[in-house]
Amino acid sequence: MLLVWPSLASAADEASAGAPRAKGSEALHFEYVAPPECPPADRFLGQISAYTTRWTLARPGEEARRFIVRIDQRERVYVGHFDVRAASGARASRDIEGATCDEAALGLAVAVALAIEPNASLVPEPSPASESTSIEPSTPAPPPPDEGANAAPRAKAPPDMPIVRPPSSPSRAAVSVGGRAEANGAVSGVLAVVDVFVELEWIGALARVPSLRPAIRGGWRNALTRTQQVGTTRAEIDWAAGYLEACPARFAVTSHVAIEGCVGGHLGLLSGQPLDLRGAGITRRTWLDYGGLLGARWQPDRHLFVEAVAAVWAPITRDRLRIEPDGLVTRAPAAGISAGIGGGWRF
């Protein structure tokens, strides 16, 4: 549910009607839309007043700049957006992201204050408006009598005072589960493989590169049985292995698309069994390989994702499986490729 204040100026019209405006203040229209857990409209306007008092609410129908402010929750963050629409039709916009709605609202208040007054101090000044229950912010204090074209520039905060900056999202982990259908040509011929996995992803791992989201993934791959003709005999080949993949280079290209580069390896069993030889048993060999993987993931909403992957694997163990006297059943290549598509759910 969203709370909508379609026109803050109309709510304050009676209180401001006929009231004189401070010299140099700009009349503005505001529209504010936010979830219930976000700061109410009067508190948001009070935050703006803490950074600049060179504005006041415009009366209904008055020609003035209009700020349209909206905060939405996306996945586990809040994204604030505002549009500035001038009476001439010119427009500008800005997005701010925060881990909580209060952080997103504070970032928006700083950005709006700078849009109103580019030289506004980023050190908030204590103001009753921040605690007021009225929609209209407190009336700006009148400027000194000698303020004018030749007035001295507004004093800046001392450099040793703390500076308030738009908040950034903290690092956090996201857990996903998923599965894929794959074709693997690095084991024995081309095997049809079913893959299930669990993944841990770090969002906001590096503040200087917000799009970087490294991940680690572990799972199990199981091949469907393949039948191989060997002379006059047939043999069944099976492969199953656990795997671990590290993806240090996963980047969020957009809010819905990510690409990744990973390295990993398998540890499992390769087995073969003749079908037409009486008394023949199953031969099993340990399987070990390593390789690299490239992938692309599309996430249409905060939970569901689909992806495509391609990899190159180099077997470390390349034992031969033979049927005597008919010949070789299988031997792994020096390197092979795999590819698959799948999807999953992110919690």
Q: Is residue 278 part of a domain?
A: yes
Residues 104 and 243 in one domain: no
pLDDT tens-digit series, residues 262-298: 999 999 999 888 877 776 778 888 999 999 999 999 9
Distance CA 253, CA 211 (A): 7
Report the number of distinct structural domains present in the chain.
Answer: 2
Within this chain, do residues 211 and 281 fall inside the same structural domain, yes or no? yes
Q: How far apart are CA 100 and CA 123, in angstroms?
A: 21
Task: Output the pTM of the full model.
Answer: 0.54
Residue 114 lies in a domain: yes
- Could you tell me if 98 and 206 lie in one domain? no
Answer whether residue 243 shows pLDDT above 70. yes
Domain extent at residue 25: 3-131
Q: What pLDDT does residue 8 have?
A: 53
Residues 103 and 198 in one domain: no
How far apart (Å, rounded) are the C-alpha atoms in residues 148 and 144? 9
d(CA 50, CA 129): 8
What are the tens digits of pLDDT across the range 308-324?
999 999 999 877 776 66
Identify whether residues 56 and 185 lie together within a single domain.
no
Whole-angstrom distance, CA of residue 124 vs CA of residue 52: 8
Cα dihedral 255, 259, 260, 266, rounded to 10, equals 110
217 lies in some domain: yes
Same domain for 179 and 119? no
For residues 242 and 309, state if they share a domain.
Answer: yes
- pLDDT tens profile 190-201: 999 999 999 999
Q: What pLDDT digit, counting tens, does each position of 129-172 carry?
A: 444 333 444 444 455 555 444 544 444 433 433 344 444 455 68
Cα 20 to its chain centre, rounded Å, is 47
The DSSP output letter for 48 is: H
CATH code of residue 197: 2.40.160.20
Q: Is residue 155 part of a domain?
A: no
Structure tokens at 338: 């795999």
pLDDT band at 230 (very low <50, low <70, confident <90, very high): confident
Residue 115: CB atoms within 10 A of its CB come to: 18
pLDDT in tens, 77-136: 889 898 888 878 788 888 888 888 998 899 899 889 888 888 876 776 665 444 433 344
Helix (H, G, I), strand (E, B) or coil at 186: coil
Structure tokens at 237: 């080949």
| Cα dist from 18 to 15, 21, 142, 169, whole Å | 9, 9, 16, 44
> Domain boundary residue among 99, 131, 163?
131
Residue 185 lies in a domain: yes
Q: Going by DSSP bridges, is the β-strand pair 26-34/55-57 parallel, antiparallel, or unpaired?
A: parallel
